[in-house]
Amino acid sequence: MESRRQAGPLPTVEDFARVIVRAATDDSPAGRTLYVGGEDYLAVGAHSLRQ
């Protein structure tokens, strides 16, 4: 966990809630993986639901 904190701030409860609501109401394809957090976890071709 400490190494993750050094990479940037951890997501908040509000960050998780925002992505859950958007995933439930978005017209995204079934089975899509959504990430919450910093760009350091995203691979090339991954999608992010950032506002």
Please give the model's pTM, rounded to 2 decimal places: 0.56
**Other Cβ atoms closer than 10 A to 27:** 4
In whole numbers, what is the pLDDT of the chain averaged over residues?
A: 75
pLDDT, residue 3, reads 72
Question: Nearest 5 degrees, angle CA 14-CA 50-CA 43?
Answer: 115
- Does 44 score more than 60 pLDDT? no
Higher pLDDT, 33 or 42: 33
| Residue 1 vs residue 51, higher pLDDT | 1
* Predicted local confidence at residue 51, as pLDDT: 45
